[in-house]
Structure 1
Amino acid sequence: MGGFPSTDVDPFAPEFLGDPYPAYAALRSLGPVVTMERYGISAMAGYAEVEPALKDWRTYISGEGVGLAGMNPALPKPLTLQIDPPDHDKGRRVLGRTLSPGVARRLRETFQKEAEIKVAELLERGSFDAMADLAEAYPMKVFPDAIGIRPDGREKLLAWSTFVFNSFGPENDILIASREAGLAAQAWIMECCVRSALQPDSLGMMIYEAADSGEITEHEALHLVRPFLTAGVDTTINGIGNVLLALATHPEQFQKLREKPELARNAFEEGLRYDSPVQTFFRTTSRDVEIGGGVIPAHRKVLLFMASANRDPLRWADADSFNIERPATGHVGFGAGIHACVGQMIARLEGELILAELARRVKTIELTGEPERLLNNSLRGLRRMPVRVTAA
């Protein structure tokens, strides 16, 4: 459609999701826009197209859903991600204020202490699963603590978040396998996000203070706490897991990090670029769009391959290499524009602090077995990653 090259590739097939990067290169070579015949959609895989599309919310709208099928009736009505201005602005403003510089300083102190405790514990053990025992355990402690939710049952957060991100893809076996546990967790999530369940002086309670001042309703506050909590789990876990795998398989880069722990923030950014935890999101065109010598018609679903844009050699020199000294600014691992991840400051803080602590305390990180991929329609991460560490 629209004069663009077409492909019968299925970007949600297990073999694609298991190793998408060769397929991304092939898609970029076809041109700025590709028609994906299987789903009757358009797609963009190059940085020059994906990054501007993410920022152009008037043309590439989110209000018709950021998944293939549009708005999912099984999910609560959105107030941030799948909504456009002006309705989008109120919730975004409240969340943005919740993550003020003063709050960030307070969180940094708490997160640092927990990073020290976690790394010391893992050094004592020597061998462990870097996913369950580090990439999951650290964010699942510090982030829900910051939101103010109770400590029991937090594994339900993973089930719910996994289902939500799977639901942005087609009705395939991957989505079906996650639905029962995801929906079973939904009631627990909502219970945890009501005002009476939250800890005082928490980020979640700060959102309810906006309801007290009349800026939002009590109902809206509940539905801001929930996506804030959901979005800050799987993405951060997979971001940390992916960069740990990159460091374990690039020991020379871990050595650089050991020599300069101050590179920890940039190492996390490079990890987000190199192996993005969020691989794709959809948008819908609000009008006919002339691009690349063709036309994407109005009301057309467009799949944006963010992880492919982050590996585009036209944007990044030696794009397929992992280099923690690379200036990674400009990657779209957190999206871009008004719908960029609202919790990215917290994710960056978690990634920086845990990597810096590893750099200071750990001499080597080695894989002791083959990492196992966890397939998800939107995310890229690992189910398990057996490693051995030695103390510095």
Structure 2
Amino acid sequence: MTDDHRDMQATHCPHSSSAPAEVSAAPRLVSTRPVPVYDEDLYSPAAIADPHPHYAAMRALGPVVWLSKHRMYAAPRFESARAALADDETFRSGDAVAITRLAQLTGRKTTIVCDGEAHLARRKLVTSRLTPRALRSLKPDVEAMAVEIVDGAVRKGRIDAVADMALAMPLTVVPDMMGWPQHARGHLLPWGVAAFDYAGPANRLFLRSLPGVIAMRLFVARLVRTREVMPGGIAAELLEAVDSGALTKSQCALLLIDVLAPSIDTTASIIAAAVQLFADHPEQFEELRRDRRLMPNAVNEVVRHASPLRAFTRRVHHATELATHTIPGGSQLLVLFASANRDETVFPEPDEFDIHRDTTGQLGFGYGTHTCGGQGLARMETAAILSALLDRVERIRRIGTGRRAINNVIYRWESLPVELTPRRSAATESREQEC
């Protein structure tokens, strides 16, 4: 264990001194073990920038911990996180994905913040364009866009991998798929950042997010009224559902936010992480170049290692046991996707990046009924960028340390300076050999 891990203070205490009281009619369960307490602030700027020492310290304590700073439970290990995500009857998303009560109330009736049949019905409305069959028709356009982005980056030589590649892809693909008006696309990234900060605790990032969240909601509501969307996109389909009576205007606005808010930052996080990881591991970049069949697993390993979503919460519907610990009904449980993906008992040497690793079951896109509906598109965009890099770049070299974004939910690079060494073409190599 590192010095950082030893510095993390943790004790054990009974439920009676720190956990919320029972609020449901379910019978009281008797925990066989006390819940360990973790006293650090997971949402401090330092912890946001470097969360993994905290995750390791919590995993060392047990599958369930009590976060004294945030007054809620957390599931830091793979077994407990996956079990909670699999049981959406007990660990509910309704009124719970965000941490603060304000965000919970204003998020009601979105796809993310609802359960059961309501969730499935709303999810179906926004994921019809994200099925494997639908994505197959989109693949040529995504690959062509990746080539254009990477060609431009190679011409520059030295680039910011975030601004010049990671954001360039989803900021084009997602708005085009949505049919989002061109004049309003400049707001999408700051609004997405604000939406994720809004899902965190009531810290400075949460307060800073409020103007952006309000502006996003007002704009989308106006868009539904004016119908100023491009034809043929998801937005136009949702407006048709309003016309048919399948949706109200307010429901339509919430569904538009559902798709837009999480779709850009998460994909940008994965693409930037892929660039960083292959820059740091050039031998694996070469292995992937030699065997493109490794691409799906390589992307999965990037998602496992980088885990763009740190955590979301669930509301415990009734008293239950999770990994031998009793959690009272009405409690909040923070499901730590990123910590679960570094669980030593599931992924040996979890801090190492290895494209040959068995990544089956990694939780970077969630699990269960609330698994990320756009993960297929995110994988496609990442694979397209990597394929274009493999074809055109001999090596990716980091220049400088880069800077992490400070966000309550998203874990990604804010800036990642790299240098791209162009790959010599076969024709060039042939001419050199003749000389």
Q: Does 1:251 align with 2:282?
A: yes
- Counterparts of 2:65 and 2:255 in 1: how far apart (Å)? 35
2:80–2:323 Cα contact (<8 Å) kept = no
Q: Does 1:314 align with 2:345?
A: yes
TM-superposed deviation, 1:71: 5.0
- Counterparts of 2:131 and 2:54 in 1: how far apart (Å)? 40
Larger Rg: 2
- Counterparts of 1:179 and 1:37 in 2: how far apart (Å)? 25
TM-superposed deviation, 1:245: 1.3
Other structure's SS at 1:72 match: helix
Other structure's SS at 1:317 match: coil
Q: Does 1:299 align with 2:330?
A: yes
- Counterparts of 1:240 and 1:391 in 2: how far apart (Å)? 19
- Counterparts of 1:359 and 1:208 in 2: how far apart (Å)? 41
Identity in percent:
32
Cα pair distance change 1:189/1:329, threshold 3 Å: farther
Q: Does 1:118 align with 2:149?
A: yes
TM alignment of 1:1-392, pairs within 5 A: 1-2=14-15, 3-72=34-103, 75=106, 77-192=108-223, 196-392=227-423
1:279–1:379 Cα contact (<8 Å) kept = yes
TM-superposed deviation, 1:213: 4.7
Once the two structures are overlaid, the 10-residue window that deviates more, 189-198 or 9-18, is 189-198
Once the two structures are overlaid, the 10-residue window that deviates more, 113-122 or 183-192, is 183-192
TM-superposed deviation, 1:344: 1.2
Other structure's SS at 2:48 match: helix
Cα pair distance change 1:73/1:286, threshold 3 Å: closer
- Counterparts of 2:193 and 2:82 in 1: how far apart (Å)? 25
2:311–2:335 Cα contact (<8 Å) kept = yes
Query: Any stretches of 5+ residues in structure 1 without a counterpart?
Result: none
- Counterparts of 1:289 and 1:195 in 2: how far apart (Å)? 47
Partner letter of residue 106 of structure 1? Answer: S
TM-superposed deviation, 1:11: 0.8
2:192–2:260 Cα contact (<8 Å) kept = no
1:265–1:351 Cα contact (<8 Å) kept = no
- Counterparts of 1:71 and 1:216 in 2: how far apart (Å)? 24
- Counterparts of 2:102 and 2:115 in 1: how far apart (Å)? 13
2:75–2:336 Cα contact (<8 Å) kept = yes
TM-superposed deviation, 1:198: 1.9
Cα pair distance change 1:262/1:199, threshold 3 Å: farther
Equivalent residue pairs, number = 392
Other structure's SS at 2:182 match: coil
Once the two structures are overlaid, the 10-residue window that deviates more, 90-99 or 277-286, is 90-99
Cα pair distance change 1:220/1:153, threshold 3 Å: closer
TM-score normalised by the chain length of structure 1: 0.94
Give per-residue Cα distances to partners, 1:68-93, cap 9 Å, x unaligned: 22451784543210111132121012
- Counterparts of 1:190 and 1:264 in 2: how far apart (Å)? 40
Once the two structures are overlaid, the 10-residue window that deviates more, 315-324 or 170-179, is 170-179
- Counterparts of 2:243 and 2:215 in 1: how far apart (Å)? 31
- Counterparts of 2:226 and 2:361 in 1: how far apart (Å)? 37
Other structure's SS at 1:143 match: helix
- Counterparts of 2:70 and 2:250 in 1: how far apart (Å)? 36
- Counterparts of 2:155 and 2:254 in 1: how far apart (Å)? 41
- Counterparts of 2:225 and 2:385 in 1: how far apart (Å)? 30
TM-superposed deviation, 1:106: 1.9
Give per-residue Cα distances to partners, 1:327-379, cap 9 Å, x unaligned: 32211111111111111111111111111111111111111112101111111
Once the two structures are overlaid, the 10-residue window that deviates more, 345-354 or 284-293, is 284-293
TM-superposed deviation, 1:258: 2.0
Cα pair distance change 1:281/1:76, threshold 3 Å: closer
- Counterparts of 1:189 and 1:271 in 2: how far apart (Å)? 33
Other structure's SS at 2:405 match: strand
Give per-residue Cα distances to partners, 1:148-167, cap 9 Å, x unaligned: 11223423111111111112
TM-score normalised by the chain length of structure 2: 0.85
Cα pair distance change 1:372/1:258, threshold 3 Å: same
Give per-residue Cα distances to partners, 1:24-74, cap 9 Å, x unaligned: 111011111111111221111000000111121111011122122245178
Cα pair distance change 1:192/1:145, threshold 3 Å: farther
Query: Any stretches of 5+ residues in structure 2 without a counterpart?
Result: 1-13, 16-33, 424-435
Give per-residue Cα distances to partners, 1:105-164, cap 9 Å, x unaligned: 221111111111111111111111100111011110111111111223423111111111
1:283–1:301 Cα contact (<8 Å) kept = yes
Once the two structures are overlaid, the 10-residue window that deviates more, 174-183 or 122-131, is 174-183
- Counterparts of 1:194 and 1:157 in 2: how far apart (Å)? 19
- Counterparts of 2:344 and 2:145 in 1: how far apart (Å)? 38
Partner letter of residue 41 of structure 1? Answer: M
What RMSD, in angstroms, separates the aligned Cα atoms of the two structures? 2.0
